[in-house]
Amino acid sequence: MKITLKNYELSTALAFVAKMDLKAASASRHRSKFKKELLKAIEGLQESEMELYDQYGEKDADGKLVINESQTGYEVKDSEKNQFAQELHALLDEEIVLESGLYAKNFSLFGKVLADYNGMISGKEADIYDRLMDEFEKEENQDVKD
């Protein structure tokens, strides 16, 4: 089973999945396996973002990246800001494929956990819930065709 998301959706998906109030231990276990794959994808995204900062970022005399004034990230060279923004946008728009691997059953059963979820959701949570459901339903329909 493969679930495809955009990089910019990963943190919202992780926050939603982690916040889900689940009663059954088995549902929590299925979520844990899915959450683990989200975390791996986020780590990969963070590595790619650091490569961009390393390429376009301001560095001090010791060659270390300079933290911006608002303490939210790193300072980007003025002459490179447009190129950095384009590269970052392209990175965030890239698709990432989460694969079930060894935990194929847990992974696919998390789709059922999502479908049965009756917690309160709104805003970004509702949007990411819909995206995740679309992906799990797409995979479910694909399995039927195979």
**145 assigned to some structural domain:** no
Tell whether 92 is covered by a domain. yes
Query: What pLDDT sits at residue 8?
Result: 97
For the stretch 63-85, pLDDT in tens is 999 998 888 889 999 999 999 99
Distances (CA, A) of 106 to 20, 68, 90, 113, 136: 16, 42, 32, 10, 13
Residue 29 structural domain: 2-140
pTM: 0.85
Pairing of strands 95-99, 2-6: antiparallel
Residue 146 lies in a domain: no
Kindly state whether residue 133 falls inside one of the protein's structural domains: yes
d(CA 1, CA 37): 12
Count the domains in the chain.
1
- Whether 36 is in a domain gets the answer yes
Distance CA 80, CA 86 (A): 10
Instruction: Indicate whether 72 belongs to any domain.
Output: yes
Backbone angles phi, psi at 119, to 5 degrees: -75, 165
Is residue 50 a part of any domain in this protein? yes
Please report whether residue 45 resides in a domain: yes
Mean pLDDT, residues 119-124: 90
Would you give the DSSP letter of residue 117? -
